A and B are shown apart, each in its own frame.
Chain A
Amino acid sequence: RKEVEQDPGPFNVPEGATVAFNCTYSNSASQSFFWYRQDCRKEPKLLMSVYSSGNEDGRFTAQLNRASQYISLLIRDSKLSDSATYLCVVNMGYDGGATNKLIFGTGTLLAVQP
């Protein structure tokens, strides 16, 4: 079982739709959580951090449920430009080294249709 799991999709949604992605992680000691966006053959870009209290950035809302060990990303009013792969990233902290151990999920592909 992978340490971080995501539904690979693709999620095909019409413009204006609301779409939600979930991500589960196996290590309960994980310290911080992030959503990254990656366009085809481009570098991943930080979309938002995820906090236990939930956080919102415009049309994007992220939630963390530590008890159930999952994080979610909600996108409202989808735009064509939201089409990308969304990567869930879990920070395991310092796993014996001096740098964070960051585990990427396999990503969820979103395709917003006109």
Chain B
Amino acid sequence: NAGVTQTPKFQVLKTGQSMTLQCAQDMNHNSMYWYRQDPGMGLRLIYYSASEGTTDKGEVPNGYNVSRLNKREFSLRLESAAPSQTSVYFCASSEISGGPSSGANVLTFGAGSRLTVL
């Protein structure tokens, strides 16, 4: 019953360094998401993958890239980290049932990855 697993939980980077946040889910969900959480701003969507093989930009995609490696895994990459990317990052997944006008797209979240860019 792992659900959504994110690694690493904590990371400190210097400006300009690169890193990849890993996310894996074991619920056979179709959709996966990367959010960032900043104080007073709620969660903002960076990228999402509605199904295996597809990825799309969210609200704040600049400075990030993603890869939907397979149905289970969805990684987030920072190619050249900036202090503005200091945040807590959450991966989530969902099983979209019914059509867009029915059902509830309930998200299951990982525990978060706290990233500090100096």
Q: Do A and B come from one complex?
A: no
> Residues of A at under 8 Å CB distance from B?
none
